Chains A and B, each alone.
Chain A
Amino acid sequence: MRSERAMLVLAVAVVGAAGLAPMLAVLAESVRVGGQFGLAHYGVLVRSTRQWQLLGHSVLLASLVAGMATTIGLPLGVLMAKTDLPLRGTLAALFTFPFLLPPYVVAVGWFQVFGRGGIVGDWLGPAVAERTHAILFGLSGTALVLASCLMPVVMLLTMLFVRTVPPRLEEAARLAAPWGATFIRVTIPLILPGVLLGALIVFLLALGEFAVPMFLRYDVYSVDSFTRFAALYQPAVAAAASVPLGLIALLLVALERLFLRDRTYEIRFAASAPDVLTAPLGRARFVLLGVVLLLGAVGVALPLGSLAIRSAAPGVYPEAFARGWDALVRSLGYAAAGATLLTVIGFALGYLIQRRALSIWRAVDSLTILLFVLPSTVVGIGLIALWNRPTLGAVYGTAWLVLVGYVAQYTAVTSRATVAGLSAIPRAAEEAARLAGAGWFRRVALIVAPLASRSLCAAWIVAYLLCVRDTGLTMMIYPPGGDTLPVRTFTLMANGAPPLIAALCVMMIAAAVIPLGVIGLVFGDLRPGRQRAKAAW
């Protein structure tokens, strides 16, 4: 009992130090004026019409992205999980792909297709390209690109939640109505809390995103407040400027806790039925397949394929390797180390949350989720404010700080995956070991962890992907000479030759996908575990 408590408290302390303390540091910094308490920095913000306007831009962009992601992701999720659409597995993977990449890579891909001098121009003439170019830059393009990157969140959550709908509820409806009405009035309303959760995550991720708005030239709060405004070069003002974004995240997470969380559990009554009902699409299946294929081609395959096309010139890849090889190696190292650390800490926290082992389990859960949706710039500023001291030089300015940042931002993913995995393990398995006299460490190491191994592997993979694609946080805290491939590519984008950038983006895609393939080959099919991990949301 004592070792259990000690380990859990230690895990909570780690996340507290990595995540909570920087947030508090930001707050503390923002209310310090000339060494004393004061709200002057907020006064500057409140009076600046530009800041309000930018906050408006950010909320508008995030709402548009969440709206589009839901409008497309919900029907796609239903199609993929509940119908006999041909190729649905492949298509679901295709649509998920952009989510695995740093969003600006996807933006570069879109630019290669729809920008001036892009593929559309080659095919349909410069006049059409002029049009698409105008749409791509500014609010419309930024929203489209981010929606294509974040839509998978809604789609995957929809796919997951429709599987939890008891089939009887749909059959009861099928006695009176065709599948269409059944989906609209029974299935979708039942999973609405899950879908709204997805929309909320998308909204918050879009709110914190800055690379894509920067690339496509749409002024948003997260870009501007940390550059132009904070370009008055006062960290305290920058800290104050980051507080509104933190507050929005906090508010929405709190609302989700209040209104959605309980309703999500409400529908989980005994579903003895074995499987998920599938709606036959009949003749419509080929029409729908055509529509979905077109969407996948225009929104995913073309932009990402264009990167490969653009980079396929002699001498490009040798230069890309010369420019990015060391960063690529570091990316893989950071991501592997980060994912491992995240899996260990996430397991402890997930155990704590699922078993309600400490009275603060709910607060821990909320904290990790808040940190996950907090804009990376806020976390970054907090980490610098907290760790940048002569006495902490052993961490600050080293790769350790990057790992601390990953733990701060992404623990929610691994802890929730653990929760999902543990929920599927009968408690009796651990209790039996306890009666047999095994201590907590032995129980966890020999009984619980092996039983949850699929979830833990899935957690590791998702954490790896999030770490390897991270741009915003790493960019702020990487040690000198220790940047990662997404950061390297992003900095090279200023005046870098387009083929080189495209080649680096292709390298990044490989960095995300190839290790997954290897792991997949070694550990076999992990998809069910992966889905369970996502179910935790």
Chain B
Amino acid sequence: MRRLGFACLVLLVACRGADDSVVVYVSHDQVFSEPILRDFERDTGIRVLPVYDTEEAKGTGVMNRLLAERNNPQADVYWANEPIRAELLKQEGVSESYRSPSSQGIPAGLRDPDGHWTGFAARARVFVVHKDIGDPPRTIAAYSDPSWRGRGVIANPLFGTTTTHMAALASLWGADSLMAFLGLARANSVVMSTSNGESADLVAQGAFAFSLVDVDDAISRLRRGDPITMIYPDQAVGGLGTLLLPNAVLLIRGGPNPENGRRLIDYLLSPETERKLAASDAAQVPLHEGVAVPPDLPPIENVTIMDVDYTSMARLLDEIQPLLQSWVESQP
């Protein structure tokens, strides 16, 4: 038995990364990111050693691991599922500037001016609306609009992209105005669900008229034939615009395989990767113009994007946390 165990140990050690490898920490859903990384391995012959995060913004995830390893970096690349974390890591000095040739054509607002992180393949925050609604809501103000009283549902703002969305609104309006808006929404009988997926299901079942969800929640239900439509909110001239949460990729300062890291970044930022992510169930909007998208996903050229500052969002994310907490707990 001991000998067997020793053999196992030897095997384990033998599995350690060789020179021709790249270590990537991934916060994007493994279901969607893993195939991309496998394609990279196949196309380049560079072995990818990934560490995946658990559910977004939760788990003692790779973000903490990156910070803990700051003085002895183990990773070459970090694939974040939104830019706020990337921005934080930049501020903590974990990342290194790298302007990939593939970043050409990505809108300036969706990448770091200093070149520390670059956005790609964005999740859009969209409305799902039940098919039977004749004149659907076109702005998130519908949540506080008495004519939609009791018809709107939203995921718990303490979790996931809904939290990020709140931070974005706070960065545009200020935290007080955000809370005033949420207060009005509460008074307007807005119901809170546990997740975006649940929100979309509730709308599909006809229990509610509309909800703010991630684009992939809407697309997956559309593809399965649920009676819903998808709307990009706040597209009117001078409106807020639709919130886009791009993936962001950054190069780790002092990582073990910087050259392979850059190659991986080039690969991730390429239009081809964006096309794959758009076509997958992740349904992410490509940031390069002219990338072929499935028919149910509008191309980026046609979308008014919410203009947000990720630095202030990073700061506000923690500031609004207790406010959101008390809002959640005050629900009747």
Contacts and interface: CB of A to CB of B under 8 A. Distances in A.
Contacts of B74: 396-397, 480
Label chain A's interface by main secondary structure: helix
A143 B102 CA distance: 49
Query: Max chain B CB contacts within 10 Å: which of A384, A403, A478, A481?
Result: A481
Interface stretch (B12-20, B124-132, B167-175, B265-273): B12-20
B5 interface: yes
Nearest to A224: B58
Given A227-B60, A228-B321, A333-B11, A340 B2 contact: yes
A400 B49 contact: no
A494 interface: yes
A424 to B, nearest CB: 21
B71 A217 contact: no
Interface in A481-498: 481-483, 488, 490-497
Interface string A213-236: 010010100010011101111110
A53 to B, nearest CB: 8
B44 interface: no
Contacts of A388: 68-69, 71-72
A204 B219 CA distance: 42
Nearest to A342: B5
Nearest to A491: B52
B34 A323 contact: yes
Contacts of A500: 31
A340 to B, nearest CB: 3
Contacts of B153: none
Given A340-B1, A400-B13, A495-B32, A226 B64 contact: yes
Contacts of A235: 64, 67-68
Given A227-B58, A483-B51, A399 B1 contact: no
A232 B2 CA distance: 44
A49 B325 CA distance: 11
A472 B56 CA distance: 16
Query: Max chain A CB contacts within 10 Å: which of B54, B60, B216?
Result: B60
Nearest to B195: A217
Given A231-B57, A495-B29, A496-B31, A482 B71 contact: no
Contacts of B322: 49-50
Query: Max chain B CB contacts within 10 Å: which of A214, A389, A399?
Result: A399
Given A475-B59, A480-B49, A384 B65 contact: yes
Given A232-B318, A337-B12, A494-B30, A479 B49 contact: yes
Contact of B23 (A228, A234, A480): A480
Contact of A389 (B16, B32, B50, B72): B72
Query: Max chain B CB contacts within 10 Å: which of A227, A344, A403, A500?
Result: A227
Nearest to B26: A491
Contacts of B24: 480
Interface in B187-218: 194, 198, 201, 216
B4 interface: yes
Nearest to A134: B194
Given A116-B201, A494-B29, A336 B4 contact: yes
A390 interface: yes
Contacts of A116: 198, 201
A385 interface: yes
A344 B69 contact: no
Interface string B49-87: 111111111111101110111011011000000000000
A56 B271 CA distance: 49
B12 A334 contact: yes
A380 B60 contact: yes
A399 B64 contact: no
Query: Max chain B CB contacts within 10 Å: which of A219, A490, A494?
Result: A494
B278 to A, nearest CB: 16
B57 A481 contact: no
A398 B16 CA distance: 7
A475 B60 contact: yes
B250 interface: no
A393 B54 contact: no
A374 to B, nearest CB: 14
B86 to A, nearest CB: 12
Query: Max chain B CB contacts within 10 Å: which of A210, A217, A397?
Result: A397
Label chain B's interface by main secondary structure: mixed
Contacts of A117: 201
A336 B194 contact: no
A238 B64 contact: yes
A231 to B, nearest CB: 7
B81 to A, nearest CB: 9
Contacts of A389: 71-72
Interface string A372-406: 00000100110011001110010011111001000
B9 interface: yes
A2 B31 CA distance: 56
B68 A396 contact: no
Interface string A321-348: 0010000000001101101110110000
Contacts of A228: 57, 321
Contact of A227 (B15, B52, B61, B318): B61
A274 to B, nearest CB: 34
Contact of A491 (B23, B53, B71): B53
A341 B318 contact: no
Interface in A217-264: 217, 219, 223, 226-228, 230-235, 238
Contacts of A482: 12, 15, 49
Contacts of A377: 60
Contacts of B68: 235, 381, 384-385, 388
Contact of A480 (B75, B216, B325): B75
Contacts of A399: 9, 12-13, 15
B65 A336 contact: no
A389 B325 CA distance: 38
A532 B221 CA distance: 54
Contact of A50 (B4, B32, B325): B325
A476 interface: yes
Contact of B59 (A227, A385, A390, A397): A227
A137 interface: yes
A398 B13 contact: yes
A336 B201 CA distance: 43
Interface in A104-163: 116-117, 137
A460 interface: yes
Given A333-B12, A483-B51, 4 more contacts: A231-B64, A399-B9, A400-B9, A400-B13
13 contacts: A214-B55, A227-B61, A230-B60, A233-B64, A337-B5, A337-B9, A340-B4, A380-B60, A389-B72, A400-B13, A480-B23, A480-B25, A496-B30
Interface of B: 1-2, 4-6, 8-9, 11-13, 15-17, 21, 23-25, 29-32, 34, 47-61, 63-65, 67-69, 71-72, 74-75, 88, 92, 156, 158-159, 194, 198, 201, 216, 281-282, 318, 321-322, 325
Q: 5 tightest A-B contacts by CB?
A: A340-B5, A481-B49, A480-B49, A399-B12, A337-B8
